[in-house]
Amino acid sequence: MTSFRAAIAPYRPLLTLLGVGLIILTLSRGVLFTLYSDRVSAAGWWPLLMLQGIRADLIMLGYWNLLALLVLPIFILLKAELGWRQFSRWWLIAVLGVTLAMELMTPAFIAQYDVRPNRLFIEYLGYPAEVFSTLWNGFRGWLLISIAGISVGWFSLQKLAQRSAAKTTLRNRAGSLWLWPVVVLLTIMSIRSSFDHRPANPALFAVTADPLVNSLLLSSTYSVQFALYNMRHEADASRIYGELSDQQLVEFVRQLPYFNGAQFIDPELPTLHWQTPSRNRDKPLNIVIILEESLGYGFVERGLTPNLAALSEQGWWFEQMYATGTRSVRGIEAVVAGFPPSPARSTVKLSGSQQGFFTIADTLKQQGYFTEFVYGGEAHFDNMRSFFTGNGVQSIIDQNSFVDPQFVSSWGVSDEDLFAMAHERLSTLHQQGQPFFSLIFSSSNHEPFELPEGKIVAPDGPLQSVDNAVRYADLALGQFIQQARSSAYWQDTLFLIVADHDNRVYGDQLVPIDKFHIPAVIVGADLEAKRLAAITSQIDLAPTLLSLAGVAAAIPTIGQDLSAPNAQPANRALLQFNQTFALLEGDVATILQPEKPPVSGRYDLSSRRLTPTALNPQQAERALHYALLANWLYQRKIYHSRADTAEKSQ
């Protein structure tokens, strides 16, 4: 018995890591289950879900232990008992410290994004000032609790690790080495967590239709590490749904009903086609896109946006416009580049699309327009500056360009300051006789919702709230449109006002379709009022805008020109929700999940509910084609237009 105890002594720190890690993660999961008990109860029997969570924890903790196990024989063979004590001590502190810190930060992240920390958590690490401001103003109490918990936890873990290391000896080196393969095998079995052909992965724990509950079954370290893995393998991101040949994808695009008769003009760029505008103009119109931060359709329905509601009666109002994703960069790539979504990061952030990637700005620049991006914050955020300057935007106006703004928040100058600058720029360009394209990106409706005082009449509750931020954003927008309408450039300009995404996309459904519903309207120049009732996607806006403005161009977009003569709306939208893709056609949503068969649901617009329905094989095929298109176009570097190609087509 003494000999066996001596043989297992080197493994004490790893057993401590496993035991204490399970305690931390189980307690954390218990708290989260309690906070979201209604959704957990609706998803299944909570003890069974808890057991699934422990299974996921064994996988994560097994990975940590395996890394330490791989170096243990070196210490044993070198008789480096002190070295192993120090290594195992700091390894235990580091692993459990990170685990504890991630769990303490999780509630605030869930409150914001309705899911455990994922790739968004990783991406926002690059913007500590903005993140800290958001946490301090929106989640101050939990931030302080987390800091205190991490401090206490770090101190306690040092004491625990020191006691564990003190009991670690290498007295029975032969026995420890004989035991090593057994421990490694058991650890690998806990990591694999399955006797099936494939080992367990996060998809295995997607056992409910509620994305939040599915994420609760994992630990936050597991969720973030899996996100890191996916980010390193984005070249194959869309293969999680299935595979199709290049020819199948080409044929799919060219057989889309709204491309019937289209002139595809370059075999090397299979989606590039010549678009003849629906409006014949002696001089094409200027184009201004106003991208409104986090403005869901629900805010319009609740009457918080009277100015936007008034515009819905004065221009082309899209009653069922859907965002492609849940991030600003996803909205940018869809609206400005007409690019479909994928489970990978937005092309705004990917290295292969920083130059030579299609955008409206690049096309208009080739036709003599001056192109500009006007933003109240710092343009380097989310890599916007690099993406825009490399793809046709000639001028960047950001927070550093504003002199004595009236109000500055954590995310930049106020929307009123933003629009004042935009109006000044548009007036100057028009006076110079310079056709222009301008992308104006608001930021006031962004957590922590810091607003100038005295602007909102009789605010509900504290000034700093999402409802008041929406009211203020609408106020600033209304003032700008009124000013623009009385300006000389109005008659020569089309204005698209559209949200990048909704605020806090969440819900207990596999894909919360209602939270993708956003407002969009095109006004200006000679455009008459029109209501488009069909389902439309952000990717349809680029070709439609160019067509209404009278711009003839070769473009690679797969969206529909909704202004084309006798156009029959495709009545579809593409939705990317984390790693879940949905194709909404009419009232039927076909949903693709990683390494799972597709499922289908019927979406009721009035109740905002998605109910399961029988899968239509043809719709599933279309969904797969749409889901694979973005990654295919990006990886092949074929999503761009060539000036020489456009000239030949004319």
Please tell me which residue, 139 or 86, carries the higher pLDDT value: 86
pLDDT digits (tens, 9 = 90+) for 419-477: 999 999 999 999 999 999 999 999 998 888 889 988 887 666 788 888 999 999 999 99
CB-based contacts of 484, cutoff 8 Å, min separation 6: 423, 426, 490, 493, 495, 524
**254 falls in which pLDDT band (50, 70, 90)?**
very high
Closest CA relative to residue 425, chosen from 371, 385, 359, 377: 371
Do both 18 and 91 map to the same domain?
yes
**Residues 254 and 186 reside in one and the same domain:** no
Locate 388 and state its tokens: 């825009």
Across 577-583, average pLDDT: 92
Q: Residue 532 belongs to a domain with what CATH number? A: 3.40.720.10
Q: Which tokens hold the place of 34?
A: 């309690």
- Indicate the pLDDT class of residue 319, thresholds 50, 70 and 90: very high
Instruction: Give the tokens for residue 385.
Output: 């500056």
Give mean pLDDT, residues 578-589.
94
Co-location of 184 and 273 in the same domain: no
The DSSP-derived string for 194-235 is -SSSS---GGGG--SS-HHHHHHTS-HHHHHHHHHHHHHTGG
Which of 138-152, 251-265, 629-643 holds the top average pLDDT?
251-265
The pLDDT of residue 568 is above 70: yes
- Same domain (yes/no): 228, 252: no
The answer to whether 429 touches 370, Cβ cutoff 8 Å, is: yes
Q: Which of 176, 202, 232 is the last residue of a domain?
A: 232
Instruction: Tell which wins on pLDDT, 254 or 200.
Output: 254
Measure the CA–CA gap between 325 and 3, rounded to whole angstroms: 60
Mean pLDDT of 124-142: 75
Name the 3-class secondary structure at 371: strand
Ranges 82-86, 124-128, 215-219: which has the least confidence: 124-128
Q: Is the pLDDT of residue 199 over 90?
A: no
Distance between CA atoms of residues 541 and 335, nearest Å: 6
Range of 195's domain? 2-232
Separation CA 564–CA 598 (nearest Å): 33
At position 259, the amino acid (one-letter code) is: F
- Tell whether 313 and 411 lie within a shared domain: yes
Q: What is the pLDDT of residue 231?
A: 67
Mean pLDDT over residues 71-91, rounded? 90
- What is the C-alpha separation between 501 and 340, in angstroms, rounded? 14
Quick check: is 75 in a domain?
Answer: yes
The reply to whether 545 falls in a domain is no
Query: What CA–CA distance (Å, rounded) separates 437 from 430?
Result: 11
Query: 491-533, pLDDT tens digit by residue?
Result: 999 999 999 999 877 777 889 999 999 999 999 999 999 999 9
Which is higher by pLDDT, 601 or 199? 601
**Dist. CA 416–CA 394, nearest whole Å:** 24
Are 185 and 288 in the same domain?
no
Pull the structure tokens for residue 247: 């020819």
The pLDDT value recorded for residue 551 is 97
Label residue 568 left, alpha or beta by phi (over 0 means left) and psi (-120 to 50 means alpha).
beta
> Are residues 137 and 257 both part of a single domain?
no
User: Can you give the pLDDT at residue 446?
Assistant: 83
pLDDT of residue 97: 92
Q: Are 81 and 88 in contact (CB under 8 A)?
A: no
Whether residue 10 contacts residue 177, with contact meaning beta carbons closer than 8 Å, is answered with: no
Sign of CA dihedral 527, 529, 535, 537: positive
Burial code (b: 16+ CB inside 10 Å, e: under 16) for 110-119 equals bebbbbbbbb
Count CB neighbours of 513 within 10 A: 24
Task: Encode pLDDT of 323-364 as tens digits.
Answer: 999 999 999 999 999 999 998 888 898 878 888 899 999 999
Give the residue from 120, 327, 124, 116 showing the smallest Cα distance to 202: 116
The better pLDDT of the pair 624, 113 is held by 624
Beta bridge partners of 397: 374
- Give a yes or no: residue 605 inside a domain: yes
Q: What confidence score (pLDDT) does residue 198 get?
A: 66
In whole angstroms, give the CA distance from residue 345 to residue 330.
8
Complete DSSP assignment for 261-297: T-EE--TTSTT-EEE--SS--SSPPEEEEEEETT--H
User: Residues 590-595: what's their mean pLDDT?
Assistant: 91
Residue 237 in any domain: the answer is no
Q: pLDDT confidence of 238, banded at 50, 70, 90?
A: low
pLDDT at 163 over 70: yes
How many C-beta atoms surround the C-beta of residue 50 within 10 A?
17
pLDDT on residue 450: 87
Write down the mean pLDDT value for the chain: 89
| Average pLDDT value for residue range 15-28 | 94
Is 545 a residue whose pLDDT tops 80? Answer: yes
* Per-residue pLDDT at 164: 79
Give the DSSP H or E segment for 19: helix 12-35
Quick one: 295 and 327 in the same domain?
yes
> Distance between CA 303 and CA 309 in Å, rounded?
8
Residue % of the chain over a pLDDT of 70: 96
Task: State residue 143's pLDDT score.
Answer: 79
DSSP code, position 130: H
Q: Tell me the β-bridge partners of 318.
A: 532
Question: What is the pLDDT, as a whole number, of residue 642?
Answer: 66
Do 520 and 421 fall into the same domain? yes
Do 202 and 265 sit in the same domain of this protein?
no
DSSP string, 330-355: HHHHHHTT-PPP-SS--TTT-GGGSS
* CA 644/CA 366 separation, integer angstroms: 10
Instruction: Return the closest-CA partner of residue 200 out of 400, 16, 32, 53.
Output: 53
Residue 241 in domain: no
Write out the DSSP string of 74-102: HHHHTT-HHHHHHHHHHHHHHHHHHHHHH
Sign of CA dihedral 314, 320, 326, 332: negative
What is residue 2's predicted lDDT score, i.e. its pLDDT? 67
In this predicted model, what pLDDT tens digit does every residue of 179-194 receive, in sequence order? 899 999 999 999 988 7
Burial 325-344 (b: 16+ CB within 10 A, else e): bbbbbbbbbbbbbbbbbbbb
Which pLDDT score is estimated for 227?
78
Average pLDDT value for residue range 287-293: 97
Query: Is residue 36 assigned to a domain?
Result: yes
Which residues on adjacent β-strands are paired with residue 287? 437, 494
Do 68 and 32 sit in the same domain of this protein?
A: yes
Using the predicted structure, report yes or no on whether residue 645 has a pLDDT greater than 70.
Answer: no
Greater pLDDT, 149 or 563? 563
Whether the predicted pLDDT of 123 surpasses 90: no
Structural domain includes residue 543: no
Nearest alpha-carbon partner for 373 in 306, 307, 311, 328: 328
182 and 285 in a single domain? The answer is: no
Q: Which residues pair with 291 in a beta bridge?
A: 441, 498
Strand duo 412-413 + 273-275: pairing:
unpaired
Please compute, for residue 156, the number of CA atoms within 13 A of its CA located in the half-sphere on the CB side. Answer: 11
- Letter for the amino acid at 630? A
Q: Is the pLDDT of residue 20 over 50?
A: yes
222: nearest Cα among 325, 107, 34, 95: 95
Q: Which CA distances in Å does 457 have to 384, 452, 472, 483?
A: 34, 12, 10, 21
Final residue of a domain: which of 183, 210, 232? 232
- In the chain, how many domains are there? 2
C-beta separation of 291 from 333 below 8 A: no
Confidence band, pLDDT 50/70/90 cuts, at residue 197: low
Decide which of 191, 206, 232 is a domain's last residue.
232
Q: Is residue 353 part of a domain?
A: yes
Place of tokens 């946490």: 135
Pairing assessment for the beta strands 580-585 and 273-275 based on DSSP bridges = unpaired
Q: How confident is the model at residue 648 (pLDDT cuts 50, 70, 90)?
A: very low
Q: Is the pLDDT of residue 650 over 80?
A: no
Look at 264 and 158; give whichever has higher pLDDT.
Answer: 264
